[in-house]
């Protein structure tokens, strides 16, 4: 999972996090609905896709450990894709 919420929510007692799930079922031609992560990116052991269209809220107790940090370029792409699918521009 990739946490996509604002850091403002981390500064208050907030029991949930807004995330996008990650899958190892990579689809190359899904540019807006997925962000591709190459093997080794953020310490991943295989190629994966972030499922931009499956935003959800999860209980923070499900966040067991941090695996890695996305490069800023991919983070920007993810945020732009979220803006597109949520019609925020």
Q: What is the pLDDT of residue 9?
A: 86
How large is the C-alpha radius of gyration of the chain?
13
Contact 39, 47 (CB under 8 A): yes
Q: Summarize pLDDT for 17-58 with one digit per residue, the tens.
A: 999 999 999 998 888 999 999 999 999 999 999 999 999 999
- Total domain count, the chain: 1
Q: Summarize pLDDT for 61-86 with one digit per residue, the tens.
A: 999 998 899 999 999 999 999 999 99
Tokens of 61: 């107790």
How far is residue 4's CA from residue 29's CA, in Å, rounded to a whole number? 23
- Higher local confidence (pLDDT), 10 or 72: 72
Range of the domain at 40: 2-85
- CATH, residue 58: 2.30.30.110
Contact 23, 49 (CB under 8 A): yes
Q: What is the pLDDT of residue 12?
A: 87
Contact 46, 26 (CB under 8 A): no
Task: Output the pTM of the full model.
Answer: 0.89
């Amino acid at each position: 999972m990739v946490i996509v919420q604002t850091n403002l929510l981390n500064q208050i007692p907030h029991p949930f996090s807004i995330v996008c799930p990650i899958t190892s079922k990579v689809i190359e031609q899904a540019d807006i609905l997925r962000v591709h992560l190459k093997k080794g990116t953020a310490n991943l052991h295989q190629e994966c896709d972030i499922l931009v269209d499956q935003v959800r809220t999860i209980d923070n107790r499900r966040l067991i450990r941090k695996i890695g940090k996305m490069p800023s370029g991919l983070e920007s792409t993810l945020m732009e894709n979220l803006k597109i699918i949520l019609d925020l521009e």
